[in-house]
């Protein structure tokens, strides 16, 4: 008994000494979230990811603040100033109707990013539900769900989106979100299923069941929170895909209708005059590339930050 005490107090004394140095003034709130703090530290050590995160925030700042700073009317037609190259009054120039492209790019970006976030959210919700049910229940249900997914998997997502939009007949935020998410949740579901299946084998899941935890507790308390890292990474992997999808649909004229603008439809406007007025297509194209690249680099950095094991194998 005395040895027990001594062992335990020795262990804790060691721990105490190790932690006291670092955490002494950090306070209780930080101590609690050290799992995420470690991840944040690894993320900030990754230069490409930090630059990407700043770039991403700059873009978000631009689409949010742009229309507030510049109060020109994005729909005001004035042929007198059509096709003006960038000036101080119109930093991104004007289009064939003399509309200010700075405000239109920012507003178009709002719509593009909103649709992107909406569709990503839908993809995550469907994918997580489908995948976690499949992985958690297992057995024949898993089999049926996965074979169904295999069938859908071969179908390309853009034709799916086009058909969906054709069926809806109208194009607005909601129909775009549905069209873009309807055929892009398969990968998320599969990865989710894999995660749940591998987590299910963990000792702490068995330990939870050994103290009588019911299935919903096991799923929502022990399994899903442990997939959070993967979910966050997937958000940043899916986002560029749907933003690009939206841009593509709008570019070929199936997406956002004029006079509303998205980056895709702005690029399409510029496409008709790219030889004489290249800035009209260059600006939205750069915006799309900017957002997609920064999101990908963020996803990459997050994956390394939240799953240190993959990082170790990469570095050596």
As a whole number of angstroms, the distance between CA 295 and CA 272 comes to: 29
Contact segment (CB under 8 A) with another protein among 114-122, 198-206, 239-247, 303-311 equals 198-206
State yes or no: residue 25 binds another protein (CB under 8 A). Answer: no
As a whole number of angstroms, the distance between CA 137 and CA 225 comes to: 18
Distances (CA, A) of 287 to 23, 109, 110, 217: 42, 8, 11, 44
Q: Cis omega (within 30 of 0) on the bond before 96? A: no
State yes or no: residue 27 binds another protein (CB under 8 A). Answer: no
Of these, 208, 273, 282, 292, which contacts another protein (CB under 8 A)? 208
Identify which of 290, 156, 137 has the alpha carbon closest to the alpha carbon of residue 282. Answer: 290
Identify which of 126, 131, 117 has the alpha carbon closest to the alpha carbon of residue 241. Answer: 117
Of these, 47, 147, 214, 314, which contacts another protein (CB under 8 A)? 214
Least separation in angstroms between residue 212's CB and another protein is: 4
Least separation in angstroms between residue 73's CB and another protein is: 50
Neighbouring-strand partners of residue 141: none
Of these, 76, 206, 271, 289, which contacts another protein (CB under 8 A)? 206
263-282: contacts with another protein (CB under 8 A)? none
Least separation in angstroms between residue 210's CB and another protein is: 4
Query: What do you get for the CA distance between the two ends of the chain, in Å?
Result: 45
Task: Give the residue with the Cβ less far from another protein, 90 or 222.
Answer: 222
Task: Give the residue with the Cβ less far from another protein, 155 or 207.
Answer: 207
Of these, 17, 20, 21, 28, which contacts another protein (CB under 8 A)? 28
Of these, 25, 147, 156, 203, which contacts another protein (CB under 8 A)? 203
Q: How many residues sit close enough to another protein to count as binding (CB under 8 A)?
A: 36
132-151: contacts with another protein (CB under 8 A)? 139
Three-state secondary structure readout of 169-198 = CCCCHHHHHHHHHCCCCHHHHHHHHHHHHH
Distances (CA, A) of 96 to 27, 131, 274: 59, 48, 12
Least separation in angstroms between residue 236's CB and another protein is: 20
State yes or no: residue 213 binds another protein (CB under 8 A). Answer: yes
With the C-alpha atoms ordered 232, 234, 237, 243, is the resulting torsion angle positive or negative?
negative
Q: What angle do CA 270, 175, 55 make, to 5 degrees?
A: 50
Residue 300 token pair: 């990459």
Contact segment (CB under 8 A) with another protein among 142-150, 221-229, 254-262, 277-285 equals 221-229
Within 10 angstroms of residue 16's Cβ, the number of other Cβ atoms is 10
Task: Give the residue with the Cβ less far from another protein, 178 or 205.
Answer: 205
| Structural contact between residues 218 and 226, judged by C-beta atoms closer than 8 angstroms | no
Least separation in angstroms between residue 302's CB and another protein is: 17
Of these, 22, 30, 32, 61, which contacts another protein (CB under 8 A)? 32
Residue 271 token pair: 């496409």
Of these, 43, 209, 248, 293, which contacts another protein (CB under 8 A)? 209
Residues of the shown chain interacting with another protein in the complex, contacts defined by CB under 8 A: 1, 3-5, 7-9, 11-12, 14-15, 19, 28, 31-32, 34-35, 139, 202-204, 206-214, 217, 221-222, 225-226, 228
């Amino acid at each position: 008994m005395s040895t027990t005490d001594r062992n335990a107090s020795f262990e804790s004394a060691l721990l105490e000494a190790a932690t006291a140095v670092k955490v002494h003034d950090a306070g209780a709130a930080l101590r609690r979230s050290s799992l995420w703090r470690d991840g944040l530290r690894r993320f900030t050590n990754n230069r490409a990811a930090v630059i990407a995160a700043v770039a991403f925030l700059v873009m978000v700042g631009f689409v949010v603040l742009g229309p507030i700073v510049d109060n020109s009317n994005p729909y005001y037609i004035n042929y007198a100033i059509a096709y003006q190259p960038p000036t101080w009054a119109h930093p991104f120039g004007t289009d064939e109707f003399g509309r200010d492209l700075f405000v239109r790019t920012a507003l178009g970006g709002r719509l593009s990013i909103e649709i992107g976030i909406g569709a990503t959210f839908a993809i995550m919700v469907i994918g997580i539900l489908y995948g976690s049910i499949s992985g958690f229940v297992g057995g024949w249900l898993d089999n049926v769900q996965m074979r169904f997914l295999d069938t859908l998997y071969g179908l390309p997502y853009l034709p799916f989106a086009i058909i969906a939009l054709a069926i809806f007949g109208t194009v607005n935020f909601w129909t775009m979100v549905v069209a873009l998410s309807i055929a892009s949740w398969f990968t998320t579901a599969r990865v989710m299923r894999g995660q749940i299946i591998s987590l299910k084998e963990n000792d702490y899941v068995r330990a939870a069941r050994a103290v009588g935890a019911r299935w919903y507790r096991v799923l929502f308390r022990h399994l899903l929170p442990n997939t959070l890292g993967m979910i966050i990474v997937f958000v940043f992997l899916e986002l560029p895909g749907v933003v690009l999808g939206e841009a593509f649909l709008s570019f070929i004229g199936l997406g956002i209708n004029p006079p509303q603008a998205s980056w895709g439809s702005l690029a399409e406007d510029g496409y008709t005059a790219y030889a004489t007025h290249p800035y009209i297509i260059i600006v939205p194209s750069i915006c799309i590339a900017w957002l997609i690249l920064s999101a990908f680099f963020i996803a990459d950095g997050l994956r390394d930050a939240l799953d240190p094991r993959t990082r170790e194998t990469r570095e050596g």
